[in-house]
Amino acid sequence: MNWPKSIYVGDHIWFGQNAMIFKGSKIGSGSIIGANSVVSNKRIPSNTTYAGAPLRLIHENTFWTPHSVHGWNDEEIKKMSESDSDLFSYSPDENTLDFDEIESILNSSNQDDTVEYVLMFLFAGKNRFCLK
Report the C-alpha gap between 79 and 72 in whole angstroms: 11
Per-residue model confidence as pLDDT tens for the chain (132 residues): 888 899 999 988 999 999 999 999 999 999 999 999 999 999 999 999 999 999 999 999 887 776 666 778 888 877 776 666 677 788 888 888 888 888 887 788 777 777 777 777 777 778 888 888
- Say whether 10 sits in a helix, a strand or coil: coil
Strands 32-33 and 48-51: parallel
Say what the pTM is: 0.80
Neighbours of 90 (CB within 10 A): 25
Q: Which pLDDT belongs to residue 68? A: 67
In tens, the pLDDT along 20-38 reads 999 999 999 999 999 999 9
CB contact at 8 A, 2 and 122: no
Contact 30/47 with Cβ under 8 angstroms?
Answer: yes
Say if CB 68 and CB 50 are below 8 A apart.
Answer: no
Identify the pLDDT of residue 33: 97
Determine the 3-state secondary structure of 36 from DSSP: coil
pLDDT value for 78: 77
State residue 83's pLDDT score.
Answer: 64
